[in-house]
Amino acid sequence: MQLVEIQAAPLEKLAQLLAPEAAERFMATAERARQLLAGRVVWNVNTTAHGGGVAEMLQALLAYGRGAGVDTRWAVIDGDPDFFAITKRLHNLLHGSPGDGGDLGAAEHAHYEEVLAKNLDELQRLVRPGDLVLLHDPQTAGLVDGVRTAGAHVIWRSHIGRDDGNSETERGWDFLGGYVERAHAFVFSRQRYVPTWLPPERVRLIAPSIDPFSTKNMVLDDDHVSRVLRRAGLIEDGDRIEAVEFTRRDGSPGFVRRHPDLLSGGGPPPRGAPLVVQVSRWDGLKDMPGVLGAFAQHVAPAEPEAHLMLVGPAVSAVSDDPEDAGVLAACSAVWAGLPEPVRRRCHLACIPMDDVDEDAVIVNAVQRHATVVVQKSLVEGFGLTVTEAMWKGRPVVASAVGGIQDQITDGEEGLLLPDPTDLEGLGDRILRVLGDPDLRERLGARAHERVRKDFLGDRHLIQYVDLFGDLVT
């Protein structure tokens, strides 16, 4: 187990982005939290400090918590490959997918419990009676009883789910139910993700959020975007641009390195080419191969100048995802089978994560440079990459699944695809956005305002303080 360093972030900076009444409520809640949680630690426990939306949310929320005067701490538990294979199986099952189809029998229960028992020994030495402990996702469910024994208030937070449960989700809950049922409270992103056997009075619905000041979401002007992408090797750089500086999350300067092998096959797209982008982990449920197919079959023939870029982390850089290499290999196989003229316009980008701030600024620049951002998820817990693109004023075309539906009203803040397997429908919507500058501007402006109103950290933190108040008073 490792403890992640948290640096306090000033609340006033976030408050300046909010409507006056929202800012006033935010600052008042911060004062309430200081008084309510004095002498207590708010712990968050998950399995990775970087890579994926949960880690990125915790970086921001815990920093604002510190800025409010609350003692927030973050522990990352250890696991071995077999443990993460089991928890990835559970992740897929709660999304309604069979995943690798592996067993979840007595042997899997035993190994899951063995790994968590080692982490629990250390966690119990850290947690004090009266502390609040948020355990995130299936990886931590087996810690609930042990943390309760330490005298803490235990909240199990599930960031995943499926709108229409099926036999796979039932199988996942059959494994997890006995571990999580004794938590004092449960947090889900959507009501439809909540299993019916949980007591409603212990369930809270809290949507995720983004931090507008993180390296991934901070403002970059067009020139800075171009220089970051040219330096990183993601768009053509005939001038061989040298040092490109950016601001790290802690305020110190960083420099974008040149990454000659960032793109799989072929050269980078031209600077001025219309660019369709999907950013996600290499996860089968994000359906990167489907995006390739939709672009190749339905967009490329009608828009001969357009390019596609699929952007994910370097494989094996995300410690709790054992399937990333296989999904990337599947995408590469689809890419290799495309006709050569189309293949030259499709790009697979694997962003190194040895420097998480550099990774973040590259993703920021890619999203801002995109003509249209796609999120063709087959299922989706919430979809923070959608939120990020909306904050940047990008037009988004996304599947009408999970939490994406809570962010986008079709035709207002973006375009929704009712059937996430409909390649022609996806292609038609992409073409509609590519061909209509006024639509792009209108969707992007409304998307930005929607995020400012509903999906920044103020609302998120207020909801957690309300929950904490119910537990400790």
* Span 61-113, pLDDT tens digits: 999 999 999 999 999 999 999 999 999 999 999 999 998 899 999 999 999 99
Model confidence over 317-347: pLDDT tens digits?
555 566 788 999 999 999 999 999 999 999 9
Q: What is the mean pLDDT of residues 267-295?
A: 95
Q: How far apart are CA 136 and CA 157, in angstroms?
A: 5
Q: Is residue 353 part of a domain?
A: yes
Q: Evaluate if residue 348 carries a pLDDT over 80.
A: yes
The kind and range of the H/E element at 206 are: none
Q: Is residue 224 part of a domain?
A: no
Q: Given pLDDT bands bounded at 50, 70 and 90, which one contains residue 243?
A: confident
Q: Evaluate if residue 389 carries a pLDDT over 80.
A: yes
* 132-136, 148-152, 241-245, 460-464, range with the lowest pLDDT: 241-245
Q: Which residues of 374-385 are buried (b: 16+ CB within 10 A; e: fewer)?
A: bbbbbbbbbbbb
Examine the domain organization and report whether 106 and 171 are in the same domain: yes
Domain range for 141 is: 2-209+456-472
Q: What is the mean pLDDT of residues 48-71?
A: 92
pLDDT at 321: 60
Q: Is residue 127 part of a domain?
A: yes
Examine the domain organization and report whether 326 and 372 are in the same domain: yes
Examine the domain organization and report whether 423 and 462 are in the same domain: no
Residue type, 446: R
Examine the domain organization and report whether 193 and 311 are in the same domain: no
Examine the domain organization and report whether 449 and 462 are in the same domain: no
Q: Are 188 and 161 in contact (CB under 8 A)?
A: yes
Examine the domain organization and report whether 195 and 282 are in the same domain: no
Q: Is residue 129 part of a domain?
A: yes
As a whole-number percent, the residues of the chain with pLDDT over 90 amount to 90
**How would you list the strands of the sheet with 2-3, edge to edge?**
2-3, 71-76, 41-46, 132-136, 153-157, 185-188, 203-205
pLDDT at 40: 98
pLDDT at 320: 52
Q: How far apart are CA 206 and CA 57, in angstroms?
A: 13
pTM metric for this prediction: 0.92
Q: How far apart are CA 152 and CA 262, in angstroms?
A: 45
Q: How far apart are CA 129 and CA 113, in angstroms?
A: 23
Q: Evaluate if residue 310 carries a pLDDT over 70.
A: yes
Q: How far apart are CA 335 and CA 265, in angstroms?
A: 9
Q: Given pLDDT bands bounded at 50, 70 and 90, which one contains residue 220?
A: very high
Examine the domain organization and report whether 202 and 270 are in the same domain: no
3-class SS at 287?
coil
Q: Are 421 and 378 in contact (CB under 8 A)?
A: yes
pLDDT at 238: 74
Q: What is the mean pLDDT of residues 179-202?
A: 97
Examine the domain organization and report whether 462 and 417 are in the same domain: no
Examine the domain organization and report whether 171 and 61 are in the same domain: yes
Examine the domain organization and report whether 272 and 205 are in the same domain: no
pLDDT at 305: 97
Model confidence over 419-434: pLDDT tens digits?
999 999 999 999 999 9
Model confidence over 437-458: pLDDT tens digits?
999 999 999 999 999 999 999 9
CATH code at 144? Answer: 3.40.50.2000
Q: What is the mean pLDDT of residues 306-319?
A: 83
Q: Is residue 250 part of a domain?
A: no
Q: How far apart are CA 389 and CA 392, in angstroms?
A: 5
Q: How far apart are CA 345 and CA 339, in angstroms?
A: 10
- What's the structural domain count of the chain? 2
Q: Evaluate if residue 286 carries a pLDDT over 90.
A: yes
Q: Are 218 and 228 in contact (CB under 8 A)?
A: no
Looking at residue 201, the DSSP 8-state letter turns out to be G
Q: How far apart are CA 298 and CA 261, in angstroms?
A: 28
Examine the domain organization and report whether 320 and 178 are in the same domain: no
Q: Is residue 246 part of a domain?
A: no
Q: Evaluate if residue 215 carries a pLDDT over 70.
A: yes
Examine the domain organization and report whether 115 and 170 are in the same domain: yes
